Amino acid sequence: MELWILIGAVIALIAFGLYRYFKSKKIMSTLTEEEFRQGYRKAQLIDVREPKEFEGGHILGARNIPLSQMKNRLIEIRKDKPVYLYCQSGARSTRAAMLLNKKDYKDLNVLQGGFKKWGGKIKTKKSK
């Protein structure tokens, strides 16, 4: 009996993971670094990492709206302009895109591989 419960739980987890994967593919575009570079200057570039990570280095021109604060800061993000999101690896920016989609944002783009794969210009906070 316990084995069947375990098997059921594993199947449910796999099904949920597949649902989220296909849902994310439907609501957002995952862009290569080159594709991301081509469009982010005409869009809202948002770093969804926490402030300490952002201060350690971020893509030039990015605004920091951490995923943990996004629900309370939606007013800062326009619905009529494309949104380009990134985090460290891509997981948080995907979650941010799903949250924004629920709030009727449409043109959502995520950097494939996240900031750790970025090879372009970055800005770091100067230490005092």
Evaluate whether residue 7 is within a structural domain.
no
Cα–Cα distance list, 23 to 27, 28, 63, 95, 113 (Å): 6, 9, 26, 11, 19
- What CATH number does residue 71 fall under? 3.40.250.10
pLDDT at position 128 is 47
Evaluate whether residue 8 is within a structural domain.
no
**Contact of 87 with 67, CB cutoff 8 Å:** yes
Evaluate whether residue 105 is within a structural domain.
yes
pLDDT tens track for 56-96: 999 999 999 999 999 999 999 999 999 999 999 988 999 99
pLDDT tens track for 23-43: 667 778 889 999 999 999 899
**Helical H segments across 31-90, by residue range:** 33-39, 51-55
pLDDT at position 124 is 85
Domain count within the chain: 1
Evaluate whether residue 9 is within a structural domain.
no
**Contact of 44 with 82, CB cutoff 8 Å:** yes
CA-based torsion, 60, 61, 67, 69: positive or negative: positive
Residue appearing with tokens 């770093």: 47
Evaluate whether residue 53 is within a structural domain.
yes
Determine the average pLDDT of the residues in 99-122: 93
Q: The tokens of 96 are what? A: 């941010």
Query: Percentages helix, strand, coil for the chain, rounded to the nearest 5?
Result: 50, 15, 30
Evaluate whether residue 128 is within a structural domain.
no
pLDDT at position 123 is 86
pTM of the model: 0.81
- Domain range for 97: 29-123
**Contact of 59 with 115, CB cutoff 8 Å:** yes
